[in-house]
Amino acid sequence: MTPWTIGLEAARRSSVHPLKSLTQGKNCRSITAQNYLYHMKSLSSLLSCCFVLLLAQSLHADESAAIAKVEEYGGQVLGIAQNTDGVRVLIPPKTFEGRILTDDDLAVLKEINGIVELDLKNAGISDAGVAHLSGLSGLERLHLEKTKISDEGLKSLSDITGLKYLNLYGTGVTDAGLESLKGLKALENLYLWQTKVTFEAAQKYHEGQIAAGNDQLEINLGWDKEILSPARLASLKDQRAKLEAEAEAATAGTEVAVVDDPDFKTHILPILQNNCVKCHGEEKQKDDLRLDTYEWVLKGGEHGAVVVAEDLIESSLFQRITLPADDDDIMPPKDGPLSDNEIALIKNWIANGAKAEAEVAPPQPEVVETKPEGSSVFVEYVLPVLKSSCVDCHGPDKQKAGLRLDTIAAVLKGSKEGPVVKGGSPDESSLYQRIILPADDDDIMPPKGDPLSKAQTDLIKLWIVSGAK
């Protein structure tokens, strides 16, 4: 053995599932130390104590042997959380020595208690291997991606009713295989990328699950082919409605923009229609003045012209809109005065000759309708969030940390430290990690203002999970 492999061996040995050894130790100690005297009083209970000890030991011996076997394969048995007994088992495709693992090697799994997660991805196992999983009732997460299993193998999973996550990416399963998954009512994530399952069949299966009361299921057949759960759809809809409402609020009540050479029809007529025509239009003509067409405006009222080209002093129309607000002659008499921008537009229009049409502008370069780059999930859901919450500091004006978040290319390029998203892995995407920190964490993004909502962070997670495209 080279020093390198010895080191590896030692590392593997020490990783023998710590929770398991702990429970084992505790069982023996609790009987010997705490209850020893009590048990001594009765021979029968002493005997039964020995029996329990023996039983426990033999069980643990089998389990330890199984764990040792998995480690020998080059696999791992890891505790998943401090206060549970559940374990996560990883089985590699090949042992350290290079032997390819076979279906029979999985027989040891039955000896290991509390397997919650099992990762067999890329392993050369087939349907006969999966048959060893039948009966692993606590299993919640199962990785079978890129294994050789087929529809037949899925039958062995039909009794693992607590299964929440099943990854069949890159396997040979087909529409018919979904039949065997009908009883998995706890299933939340089903990955079917690059299998022979059709979108239609997946949709039908999804509908069946919803009808059976499982409204959590999401099926993934590729980054742009996702079947979302009703709960997620509702939250996307909410999110969308909210973004639309925000956009509307942002445009409502905005001032008209001032331009140097206003056009009567485009700029002036709307102001007159909104503020003057109810008294100076077709129905009423106060002072015989109509302000609803260019010709009427120039014709003037009872006392002659109200607009004199290039002469603001002689133009009573301009004079009457610029009087102090409490002047009896101000126009409009109520609901006024006009806004500064509206007055500026009328002023510019008269000063520029009160023309019917503004000078014809030089032809504009043809505007090419460019669709923002990126997947539709990015464009429709992620980009609006980045624009509203991040682009102030990570956009064209400022690039904090050398990071821009205003286009898909910029997001993928990352910061001066490197990438901030990794497709498929929210855990390794700092962009996601930094938006889900507790609100009072110094590193949370955005650093000021409200943290993103759960719906928004979920959208970003969904986008990353589906490949960050």
For ligand HEC, which residue of 17, 146, 280, 290 counts as binding (CB under 6 A)?
Answer: 280
**If you search the block for the tokens 């990794």, which residue do you land on?**
422
State how far the Cα of 117 lies from the Cα of 80, in Å rounded to an integer. 9
- Decide: is 441 part of the binding site for ligand HEC (CB under 6 A): no
Residue span binding ligand HEC (CB under 6 A) among the ranges 12-20, 47-55, 143-151, 400-408:
400-408
367 torsion bin: left (phi>0), alpha (psi -120 to 50), beta (else): beta
Smallest gap from residue 199 Cβ to ligand HEC (A) = 32
Q: 3-class SS at 374?
A: coil
Residue span binding ligand HEC (CB under 6 A) among the ranges 127-135, 183-191, 202-210, 446-454:
446-454
Comparison of 7 and 402: residue with beta carbon closer to ligand HEC? 402
State how far the Cα of 464 lies from the Cα of 469, in Å rounded to an integer. 8
Comparison of 66 and 445: residue with beta carbon closer to ligand HEC? 445
- Decide: is 66 part of the binding site for ligand HEC (CB under 6 A): no
Q: 3-class SS at 60?
A: helix
- Number of residues lying near ligand HEC (CB under 6 A): 44
Comparison of 154 and 459: residue with beta carbon closer to ligand HEC? 459
- Decide: is 394 part of the binding site for ligand HEC (CB under 6 A): yes
Q: Return the exposure string of 86-125: e unless at least 16 CB atoms fall within 10 Å of the residue's CB, then b.
A: bbbbbbbbeeeeeeebebebbebbebbbbbbbbbbbbbbb
Strands in 165-167's sheet, in edge-to-edge order, are: 76-79, 87-90, 115-119, 141-143, 165-167, 189-191, 218-220, 226-227
Residue span binding ligand HEC (CB under 6 A) among the ranges 34-42, 212-220, 253-261, 277-285:
277-285
Smallest gap from residue 275 Cβ to ligand HEC (A) = 4
- Decide: is 392 part of the binding site for ligand HEC (CB under 6 A): yes
State how far the Cα of 73 lies from the Cα of 101, in Å rounded to an integer. 8
Q: Calculate the CA 364 to chain-centre distance.
A: 39
For ligand HEC, which residue of 355, 415, 422, 467 counts as binding (CB under 6 A)?
Answer: 415
- Decide: is 436 part of the binding site for ligand HEC (CB under 6 A): no
Smallest gap from residue 229 Cβ to ligand HEC (A) = 25
State how far the Cα of 414 lies from the Cα of 437, in Å rounded to an integer. 19
- Decide: is 181 part of the binding site for ligand HEC (CB under 6 A): no
Long-range Cβ contact pairs of 244-248 (< 8 A, separation 24 or more): 246/388
For ligand HEC, which residue of 258, 401, 412, 436 counts as binding (CB under 6 A)?
Answer: 401
For ligand HEC, which residue of 139, 142, 190, 276 counts as binding (CB under 6 A)?
Answer: 276
Smallest gap from residue 314 Cβ to ligand HEC (A) = 12
Smallest gap from residue 417 Cβ to ligand HEC (A) = 4
Question: Taking the CA of residue 323 as centre, how many other CA atoms within 13 Å lie in the half-sphere pointing to its CB?
Answer: 16
Smallest gap from residue 433 Cβ to ligand HEC (A) = 8
Asked whether 192 and 221 are in contact (CB, 8 A), the reply is yes
Residue 357 makes CB contacts below 8 A (sequence gap 6+) with: 263, 264, 265
Residue span binding ligand HEC (CB under 6 A) among the ranges 60-68, 114-122, 251-259, 401-409:
401-409
State how far the Cα of 182 lies from the Cα of 159, in Å rounded to an integer. 10
Q: What DSSP string describes 387-455?
A: HHHTTTTBSSS-BGGG---SSHHHHHH-BTTB-S--TT-GGG-HHHHHHSS-TT-TT-SSSSSPPPPHH
Residue span binding ligand HEC (CB under 6 A) among the ranges 94-102, 186-194, 317-325, 365-373:
317-325
For 335, which DSSP code?
Answer: S
- Decide: is 468 part of the binding site for ligand HEC (CB under 6 A): no
Binding site for ligand HEC (CB under 6 A): 275-276, 278-280, 286-287, 289, 301-303, 306, 316-317, 320-321, 329, 331-334, 338, 389-390, 392-394, 400-401, 403, 405, 415, 417, 420, 430-431, 434-435, 443, 445-448, 452
